[in-house]
Amino acid sequence: REARILRRLEHPYIVKLSSAFIEAKHEHGTVMKGYLKMPVAIGGTLWSWMQQVKPSDQQKHRVLMQILQGLEHLRQNRIVHCDIKPANILMSSQNEHALPQIADFDVSKEQEDRARELAATVTATIAVGTLAYMAPELINMHSRQGRVSHKSDMYSYGVLMLEFLTESPSRGIQGDDTPRLLDQLQQYAKDLISQLIIPDPNNRLSSIQALTHPY
């Protein structure tokens, strides 16, 4: 599935699939073991890059807008990543000019996938410990807003943005630190994040709306 999704995507801020290798197949044709080949991102993850390079506010702004452009490309292709977090943003180099690339599509979904498969994705995502970045509708699939969509990725992006700008590891938006962290930011950044982490996805900004925000 990850290879199929990546073949649909062609964007400078999304990791590029070079090739896919199948090592073993089930007797009925189901792939049991395979490998994806991608260019090496020598800059490491977004978080490690930030700690090493110590980017300025302007450089952080550039990187955040580039990630947002990548998310808009996913929206246009009806792909929900389902696991947006700093560890899944890879940087092209170890300097201030590095470009971000959205990576790790192993739990991603095409919006045409069935609800049962989406529920399985949520279970897998929680299992790898990324609950702090997950939208409320992903955590509670049976709620009134329990529909996975592009807006789920936008919530995760809002948490990532807050973490990146304040250089504070996330403990979840529900934590008591969120108002204090938001108050550390300039008004436009604070306003954008506040509109991204709205619990109701119907009122949450989409990527195209976020790209037109004054921030």
The one catalytic residue in 83, 176, 183, 191 is 83
Q: CA-to-CA distance for 47 and 39, rounded, in angstroms?
A: 19
83 is catalytic: yes
Contacts of 98 by beta carbon, 8 Å cutoff, 6+ apart: 43, 49, 53, 63, 91, 92
Q: CA-to-CA distance for 70 and 126, rounded, in angstroms?
A: 23
Instruction: Tell me which residue of 86, 98, 73 sits closest to 8, measured CA to CA.
Output: 73
Q: CA-to-CA distance for 181 and 183, rounded, in angstroms?
A: 5
3-state helix, strand, coil in the chain (%, to 5): 45, 10, 40
Q: CA-to-CA distance for 22 and 34, rounded, in angstroms?
A: 4
- Token digits for 145? 């807003």
- Which amino acids are annotated catalytic? 83
